[in-house]
Amino acid sequence: MTLTSDIDRWLRRFHRGSETGPRLVCLPHAGGASTFFHPLSAALAEVAEVCAVQYPGRQDRLAEAPHTSIDALADEIAAALGPLTDRPLALFGHSMGSIVAFEVTRRLEATPGAPVPSIVFPSGRPAPSRSRPGTVHHGDDASVLESIAKLGGTDRRILADPELVELILPATRADYQAIETYRCAPGVTVAAELRVTIGDSDAAVTEAEAAAWAEHTTGAFDLAVLPGGHFYLSTQVEAVAERVRTGLLGAGIPLA
């Protein structure tokens, strides 16, 4: 399929990927960019076309204003994915990206003719109705940087470089505002199967909070706990890739 300019704005592809397998669209964490998923894309290139969403306000979209609302972000991403009906669709979201993936799925399921994910892979995030309140986005620059550093997903050399910090702070603060002001009622569900993964030492989500994702699907549910903290994915790429492969096959999606 020839991608439209709107899709090109939102999706990045790092590897050619399978020409016949499903399309896996990955959504980054707060402050994150599409390149976070480069290793996962490499691990799955033989069985799927892996695309990563590039949110506004970072990397090659630095000049664009970042979103401060999950709903607004999900609206635009769902609209961009609308034409992608040429192959089965699945979503993978990490941290904030898990919530964005859930909300994008809700929108696609409610849109006639849109591609509907049969499976979603939330990672490193409490269930939508268990979202923790937060005030990081109200803090000064130092407190935002401290929150980033505590999660451990950003190279400390970047956090020590004033010029780089100046570039990443606006998008990071906007992302924190989006996720900290997000609310979801307990009874809201999607039909997609949910396969959730967390790290066993992640202070940002408990196993009980992750298990509560089961309340947000009318389909199948599965939870796995892997070694690592909030960014366990950085050291568990192959284990996560295997969960994706197994999940896709279990959802009836043939791999290349």
Return the active site residues: 95
What is the rounded CA–CA span in Å between residue 139 and residue 195? Answer: 34
What is the rounded CA–CA span in Å between residue 26 and residue 174? Answer: 19
Residue 15 φ then ψ, to 5°: -135, 150
Cβ neighbours, 10 Å, residue 239: 17
What is the rounded CA–CA span in Å between residue 69 and residue 175? Answer: 8
Spatial CA neighbour of 211 closest among 97, 125, 102, 96: 125
From residue 153, alpha-carbon distances to 66, 92, 202 in Å are: 20, 18, 12
Helix (H, G, I), strand (E, B) or coil at 109: helix
Contacts of residue 134, Cβ cutoff 8 Å, sequence gap at least 6: 176, 179, 180
Helix (H) / strand (E) element for 238: namely helix 237-250
